[in-house]
């Protein structure tokens, strides 16, 4: 007497599914944004770490050591030159470029006193962070 027909039960399931989707969609979007934030934070830290290594290198050695520097996908190294084995770093790569900068007040005959250092961090093939810094003697 008080039972549900098959049509009523199906209608109740459809309504419940629509309500559940309305509640769950913001959570899945938030999870995706959180994952993107974690990637960008990690990339920023990796760029900052490499830039600190460059800055703490003697001025005369920066160009020879870091111009054209590359760490391939999954080959990110720490300050001691040891490759990170944590899977969180497996999809990251980074590169550095350094060049002398001459200001207009300097003549071309003097030793340069500035180096522009740039670090780029990639996640797979996507550029996530670009960090540039001017280093003085």
Judged by DSSP in three states, 87 sits in: helix
Query: Pick the residue with more confidence: 43 or 105?
Result: 43
So where are the chain's domains? 6-136
| Averaged pLDDT for residues 66-90 | 89
CA dist., res. 130 & res. 121, Å (int): 7
Q: Is the pLDDT of residue 53 over 70?
A: yes
pLDDT at residue 119, rounded to an integer: 97
């Amino acid at each position: 007497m008080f039972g549900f027909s098959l049509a009523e039960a199906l209608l109740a399931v459809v309504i419940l599914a629509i309500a559940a989707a309305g509640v769950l969609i913001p959570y899945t979007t938030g999870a995706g944004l959180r994952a993107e934030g974690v990637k960008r934070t990690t990339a920023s830290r990796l760029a900052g770490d490499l830039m600190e290594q460059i800055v703490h290198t003697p001025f005369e050695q920066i160009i020879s050591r870091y111009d054209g520097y590359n760490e391939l996908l999954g080959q990110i190294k720490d300050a001691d030159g040891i490759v990170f084995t944590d899977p969180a770093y497996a999809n990251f790569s980074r590169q550095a470029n350094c060049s002398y900068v001459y200001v207009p007040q300097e003549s071309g005959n003097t030793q340069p006193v500035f180096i522009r250092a740039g670090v780029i961090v990639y996640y797979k093939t996507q550029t996530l962070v670009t960090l540039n810094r001017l280093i003085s003697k």
